[in-house]
Amino acid sequence: MQPPHFLVLFGLCSVSILFNVCSSFSLNAISRRDAIAAAGTFIVFPGNVKPAEAFDNSMDRTKFKDRPKRKGPQPTDLGIQFRGDLGDGLKGCGAGANCFSSTGDPELDGYYLIANLFVPPSTSTSPMKDVADAIEKYEVGHDNIDAGGFKIIKKDEGYVYAQFESLKNGYIDDVEFAVKDGEVLVRSSSRLGYLDYGVNAKRLNWIGKSLKEKGWKVKEINRSTHRDYFEQNNLQ
């Protein structure tokens, strides 16, 4: 089936605009983040809108039961993988202020980097069990986030992957923990959008408090540690 003419025209216009923008600036003068953001401006992602079954621990969503859920596509490169110059690690983040990750270049990716966010005690024999236990106790709807519930999708001795859902629109966030060379790697990211309005920071801080009760050393994500994230999301 041929695509509608207006879609073809829009695509051609987008390519033309992007070409003109790129040719107007020196690539050396554009930061990695600005380049990603500029490119993202001209990419139209599929809505992926379809009814979604709620997680078992979701709060009452009767009010929004007929609202289409925008889960977004699940990334295909989750887990510990080779990340080029950064070596093996979890997936990094894009240009948006809607993600945190342990994987990134300190000089280029400081706006989302969370190195050594959670450090288990030396007596811990199974850090990922501690993490899974903390997630299982997660308070759905705290600070007005994740009221759509959550589910641990995968867990083993070296890796935990969970999904968290917003109540109203059914947005899904992917959250990962992994052990590599004795270090606990972390990633929490929204699938859609550019901003998250503090959701990923609030989620990781809540999990961090739970881990702290188990003797873990925990760093809080706040305005002093990630000023750019807080300013873009208009957070205090």
* Per-residue pLDDT reduced to its tens digit, 49-68: 333 456 888 898 788 878 88
Question: CA 228, CA 236: separation in Å to the nearest integer?
Answer: 12
Say yes or no: 160 and 207 in one domain: yes
3-state SS assignment for residue 97: strand
> What is the SS3 assignment for 90?
coil
**β-sheet bridge partners, residue 159:** 178
pLDDT digits (tens, 9 = 90+) for 85-115: 999 999 999 999 999 999 999 999 999 999 9
What is the spatial distance between Cα 100 and Cα 90, in angstroms, rounded to a whole number? 11
Displacement of CA 226 from its chain's centroid (Å):
15
Asked whether 129 and 177 are in contact (CB, 8 A), the reply is no
Whether the Cβ atoms of residue 73 and residue 48 lie closer than 8 Å to each other: yes
Query: Using a CB cutoff of 8 Å and minimum separation of 24, what contacts does 16-24 make?
Result: 17/42, 18/42
Averaged pLDDT score across all residues of the chain? 82
- Same domain? 71 vs 151: yes
Same domain, 140 and 26: no
Q: For 115-124, how does the pLDDT look when each residue is reduced to its tens digit (9 = 90+)?
A: 999 999 999 9
Counted residue by residue, the chain has a size of: 236
Helix (H) or strand (E) holding 69: strand 69-70
In this structure, the answer to whether residues 13 and 69 fall within a common structural domain is no
Q: Are residues 60 and 156 in the same domain?
A: yes
Q: Are residues 16 and 126 in the same domain?
A: no
Same domain, 20 and 101: no
Looking at the structure, tell me whether residues 123 and 17 fall in a common domain: no
Question: Which residue range(s) make up the domain with 70?
Answer: 49-232
Q: Are residues 26 and 87 in the same domain?
A: no
**Does one domain contain both 33 and 62?**
no
Q: What is the pLDDT of residue 64?
A: 83
Residues 162 and 183 in one domain: yes
| pLDDT over 70 at 236, yes or no | yes
pLDDT at site 129: 97
Same domain, 76 and 24: no
Q: 35-61 b/e with 16+ CB inside 10 Å = b?
A: eeeeeeeeeeeeeeeeebebbebbeeb
Q: What's the pLDDT score for residue 11?
A: 42
Which stretch of DSSP H or E encloses residue 12?
A: helix 5-23
99, 78 contact by CB (below 8 A): no
Decide if pLDDT at 9 tops 90.
no
Query: How many other C-beta atoms lie within 10 A of the C-beta of residue 143?
Result: 13
Total domains in the fold of the chain: 2
